[in-house]
Structure 1
Amino acid sequence: MKIILLSIGKTDDPLFSQIIEEYRKRVNYYIPFEMQIIPDIKNTKNLSEKEQKKQEGEKLLKWLQPSDYVILLDDKGKQYSSAEFAGYIEKKSFSATKLLIFVVGGPYGFSDEIRERANEAVSLSRMTFTHQMVRLIFTEQLYRAMTILQNEPYHHE
């Protein structure tokens, strides 16, 4: 199984980029993991919130394949503790899924089309984070999940 973090828009802050890249490298020690960035929609000032979500959704859908298992990172999704998330990843690794794709939406969330395409949704928190922070929190939690599954001392109960 391979895990991909698919998101709209690049990480602008070099400090976030550096830390995210460090965790990405760490995760790759345990499982194939990559990040795919879809460019931001241009001229959003002229678009309604709904139209922006629709255009972002179209870009995301073009990237996804029918066989991909798609999980939205969404504040309305199911919440897990770090240990529970590790169990979730382990369970997914035993399924027939080759690609597990976690998706970070644009600033207004996901279009209805993306919600319909998704297999499920996971929440990192009920709080709202910037997209840069979501990438950082997700990659750190994925690394933590890998260390929990290997019984390594990174995570403390």
Structure 2
Amino acid sequence: MNIQILAVGKCKEKYLLRGIEEYEKRLKNDVKFSIKEVADERAPEGRSDKEAIQVMQKEGKRLLQQMNPQTYLIALDRKGKMFSSEEMASHIDNLAVHGRSHLTFMIGGSLGLSDEILQRADVRWSFSALTFPHQLIRLMVTEQIYRFIQIQKGTPYHK
């Protein structure tokens, strides 16, 4: 299975990078895993709704350019559906059984993902009704991907 995180902006916090690197190392024996970043767009303070949409559209175009067109897209969206770890692991396992071996988890910038991305998404996934920094979400998604794999393998990690 090929799993990718495609995200807007650079992750700069060293403590988050160390956590991400740890899960990347753990994942390398089970899946082909990668993280790709695209540049974020400046979002001026006091921006209008139109300016916010333009920012998300520009970031969305960059994301789409980096995305495999055949991928199964899981877009992180606070208005999306919440899944338990077991439900998502089962969903991913079912995709693999049906030949969907390329998955992309997409994380937007500070304003979220464009409508174009959300419409393209196969699943819109919400972690919580809470708002998290998108750099922290990168670590959380990486850990959850590792957890999904461990659930599928039946290891005690998830217990």
Q: TM-score if structure 1 supplies the norm length?
A: 0.91
Asked whether the equivalents of residues 95 and 101 of structure 2 are also in contact (C-alpha less than 8 Å), the reply is: no
Could you tell me which of 102, 108, 111 is aligned with 1:105? Answer: 108
Secondary structure of 2:7's counterpart equals strand
Asked whether the equivalents of residues 10 and 37 of structure 2 are also in contact (C-alpha less than 8 Å), the reply is: yes
Q: Cα deviations across residues 102-154 of structure 1 (Å, max 9, x unaligned)?
A: 10011111111112222221112221111111111111111111111111111
- Hey, what does 1:118 align to over in structure 2? 121
Unaligned runs of 5+ in 1: none
Distance 1:125 1:45 in 2: 26
Counterpart check, 1:88 vs 2:88: no
Aligned length: 155
Secondary structure of 2:136's counterpart equals helix
- Hey, what does 1:4 align to over in structure 2? 4
Asked whether the equivalents of residues 39 and 59 of structure 2 are also in contact (C-alpha less than 8 Å), the reply is: no
Please say which of residues 124-133 and 7-16 is displaced more in the overlay: 124-133
Could you tell me which of 71, 78, 81 is aligned with 1:78? Answer: 81
Q: Could you tell me the percent identity over the aligned residues? A: 37
Say what the alpha-carbon RMSD is for the aligned residues: 1.6
Could you tell me which of 43, 52, 55 is aligned with 1:52? Answer: 55
Shift in CA distance, 36/51, structure 1 to aligned 2, threshold 3 Å: same
- Hey, what does 1:135 align to over in structure 2? 138
Distance 1:25 1:102 in 2: 18
Distance 1:65 1:154 in 2: 31
Amino acid at match of 1:12: K
Q: TM-score if structure 2 supplies the norm length?
A: 0.90
Amino acid at match of 2:43: T
- Superposition deviation, residue 98 in structure 1: 3.5
- Superposition deviation, residue 80 in structure 1: 1.3
Secondary structure of 1:137's counterpart equals helix
- Superposition deviation, residue 9 in structure 1: 0.5
Secondary structure of 2:44's counterpart equals helix
- Hey, what does 1:39 align to over in structure 2? 39
Amino acid at match of 2:2: K
Distance 1:9 1:117 in 2: 21
Runs of 4+ more than 4 Å apart: none
- Superposition deviation, residue 44 in structure 1: 3.1
